[in-house]
């Protein structure tokens, strides 16, 4: 019960954090054209994470995707920072995306067992 409650809190916080990305998305302050595109994806993901709060178990694959996608994003950003492709100040983003990814993966609902019903009448 505690785990599900913690997951719901995380889904709300992360969902709102991602939806808040709509502000930079609409302002287009970035010099990089890729930023509004990735923000569009994260805003959409945020909306679906907020919808998943109602029934996390039914949205297990979405929650797992969000967690692993954030870990992948953090890994790419870390590699880019290491190779000096992005500025050092972006390192905070690596940490945030990695934490979000780890927490979502750790709290994702367990896969539910499906009982097979025999078609043979006894």
Segments making up each domain of the chain, as ranges: 2-107
Helices (H), 83-112: 91-107
**pLDDT tens across 49-91, in order?**
999 999 999 999 999 999 999 999 999 989 998 898 887 777 8
CA distance 23 to 19: 8
Place of tokens 């019960």: 1
Choose the most confident range, by mean pLDDT, from 26-30, 31-35, 56-60: 56-60
Alpha carbons 104 and 122: distance in angstroms, whole number: 44
Q: Kindly state the tokens that stand for 28.
A: 């287009």
Residues 6+ apart with CB under 8 A from 49: 11, 14, 15, 18, 62, 63, 66
pLDDT at 39 over 90: no
User: What pLDDT band is residue 110 in, cutting at 50, 70 and 90?
Assistant: confident
Give the pLDDT confidence of 83-108 residue by residue, as tens digits. Answer: 988 877 778 888 999 999 999 999 99
pLDDT given at position 87? 77
pLDDT value of position 84: 86
Q: State the pLDDT confidence band at 36, using cuts at 50, 70 and 90.
A: confident
Q: How far is CA 44 from CA 24, 29, 41, 73, in A?
A: 14, 20, 5, 16
């Amino acid at each position: 019960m505690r785990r599900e409650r913690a997951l719901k809190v995380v889904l709300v916080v992360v969902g709102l954090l991602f939806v808040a990305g709509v502000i930079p998305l609409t302002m287009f302050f970035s010099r990089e054209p890729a930023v509004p595109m990735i923000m569009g994806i994260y805003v959409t993901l945020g909306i679906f994470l907020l919808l998943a709060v109602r029934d996390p178990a039914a949205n297990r694959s979405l929650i797992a995707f969000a967690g692993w996608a954030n870990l992948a994003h953090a890994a790419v950003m870390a590699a880019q920072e290491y190779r000096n492709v992005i500025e050092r100040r972006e390192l905070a983003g690596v940490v945030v995306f990695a934490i979000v990814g780890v927490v979502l993966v750790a709290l994702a609902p367990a896969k539910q067992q499906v009982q097979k019903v025999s078609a043979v009448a006894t």
